[in-house]
Amino acid sequence: MNDEVYDFPPFRPPSEAESLLVRVTRGCPWNRCTFCPMYKGVKFETRTAEAVMADIDTAGTFTNGRVKTVFIGDSDSLVSTRRTICGVMDQLYAKFPAVERVTSYARAQTLRRKSVEALVAIRAAGLTRLHIGLETGSEYLLKRIQKGAGPETMVSGVNKAKQAGFEISLYVLLGIGGVADSFHHAVETAALINRMAPDYVRVRTLAPQPDTGLYEQWQQGEFELPGPEVILREQRCLIDRLDVRCEYLSDHVSNYVPVNGKLPVDKPAMISMLDDTLERLSGDEAFKKRLDRMPYLRRL
């Protein structure tokens, strides 16, 4: 058995809760987003192929090869070389023959820079789904939160990944426009998602975290955090304006309401759920107080 301590990725999407975690990179190569508390204090590095292979061998020993889904960490594994990623895929499928899905976080900027040929090779090797943080479709807000990619970069990166055959899971951050830009955020985000036509849209609700730029802006009164009513109306606007065939998921503890469904068929039921919640919010003081407390009980 390998003597090296198994190197777990510290973060993964909720949808990968049952997945084997394999760390190909450490940290985030960008790590400047004002809302994000992840990977702070972690110097970005790509792990050696030998170290990753050793982790896969160790995982194979502990699981007896009984693994069906795998998540590749950390934040942007595709910055690694095509050779490294394809080698990791080969080792995974050899060690775990029952694997059905292998996913990873990916930055749109990295996808834009990667050649289609490289992405096709990585997809053919067995990386099946990419989780991409869109956050917002607003060019203004993307700059304000220092995302490091504008709308056209987002579209270009996602379309290139789709061309290579990847499933695309986009993340939207409800509340990132504050109170003042809530409607703008919803409208621009829906418009950009319609251009990208992802397989999944997953929403999170902003809860500013200490040691982030946005938290400091909030504490200093430079950012007005939206309350439940604004967030619910923002989400309603977003869903109403989406014109894509995809699965929409509120699969995170940060969200006020578990609005889930397949668009466009489930759109009326999803909007109805939000309308019912807004109506209850206006007439049920205990319910309003419970939702008001939620930001203090969750992390991004």
- How far is residue 4's CA from residue 2's CA, in Å, rounded to a whole number? 6
- How far is residue 83's CA from residue 105's CA, in Å, rounded to a whole number? 18
- How far is residue 153's CA from residue 47's CA, in Å, rounded to a whole number? 27
- Indicate the average pLDDT of the chain: 94
pLDDT tens, residue by residue, 112-133: 999 999 999 999 999 999 999 9
* Residue 133, number of CB atoms within 10 A of its CB: 23
- How far is residue 80's CA from residue 87's CA, in Å, rounded to a whole number? 11
- 142-165 average pLDDT score: 97
How does residue 297 score in pLDDT terms, banded at 50, 70 and 90? Answer: low
Identify the weakest region by mean pLDDT among 182-196, 237-251, 286-300. 286-300
Burial class (CB in 10 A: 0-12, 13-18, 19+), 300: middle
Task: Dump the DSSP string for 107-176.
Answer: -HHHHHHS-HHHHHHHHHHT--EEEEEEE-S-HHHHHHTT-S--HHHHHHHHHHHHHTT-EEEEEEEETT
The pLDDT score that the predictor gives to residue 207 is 92
- 168-185 average pLDDT score: 98
- How far is residue 75's CA from residue 91's CA, in Å, rounded to a whole number? 21
Specify the length of the chain in residues.
300
157 has a pLDDT exceeding 50: yes
The pLDDT score that the predictor gives to residue 104 is 98
How does residue 253 score in pLDDT terms, banded at 50, 70 and 90? Answer: confident
For residue 105, which of 21, 12, 22 has the smallest C-alpha distance?
A: 12
- How far is residue 283's CA from residue 118's CA, in Å, rounded to a whole number? 55
Q: What domains appear along the chain, each with residue ranges and CATH number? A: 14-297 (3.20.20.70)
How does residue 136 score in pLDDT terms, banded at 50, 70 and 90? Answer: very high
6 has a pLDDT exceeding 90: no
The pLDDT score that the predictor gives to residue 2 is 43
- 281-287 average pLDDT score: 91
The pLDDT score that the predictor gives to residue 292 is 85
How does residue 1 score in pLDDT terms, banded at 50, 70 and 90? Answer: very low
How does residue 3 score in pLDDT terms, banded at 50, 70 and 90? Answer: very low
Please check whether residue 38 is in contact with residue 25, taking contact to mean a CB–CB distance below 8 angstroms.
no
How does residue 215 score in pLDDT terms, banded at 50, 70 and 90? Answer: very high
In the block, tokens 């590095």 appear at 45
Calculate the alpha carbon distances from 52 to 3, 11, 131 in Å: 13, 17, 21
- For residue 90, give the amino acid letter: D
Please check whether residue 124 is in contact with residue 164, taking contact to mean a CB–CB distance below 8 angstroms.
no
Percent of the chain at pLDDT exceeding 70: 97
The pLDDT score that the predictor gives to residue 300 is 42
* Residue 84, helix vs strand vs coil: helix
The pLDDT score that the predictor gives to residue 298 is 55
Please check whether residue 280 is in contact with residue 256, taking contact to mean a CB–CB distance below 8 angstroms.
no
The pLDDT score that the predictor gives to residue 5 is 72
- Enumerate helices (H) and strands (E) in the chain, giving the number of each: 11, 10
How does residue 294 score in pLDDT terms, banded at 50, 70 and 90? Answer: confident
- How far is residue 138's CA from residue 116's CA, in Å, rounded to a whole number? 26
For residue 27, which of 11, 13, 15 has the smallest C-alpha distance?
A: 11
SS3 sequence of 263-299 = ECCCHHHHHHHHHHHHHHHHHCHHHHHHHHHHHHHCC
What are the beta bridge partners of residue 171?
Answer: 133, 202
- 152-168 average pLDDT score: 97
pLDDT tens, residue by residue, 39-88: 988 999 999 999 999 999 999 998 998 999 999 999 999 999 999 999 99
- How far is residue 291's CA from residue 3's CA, in Å, rounded to a whole number? 47
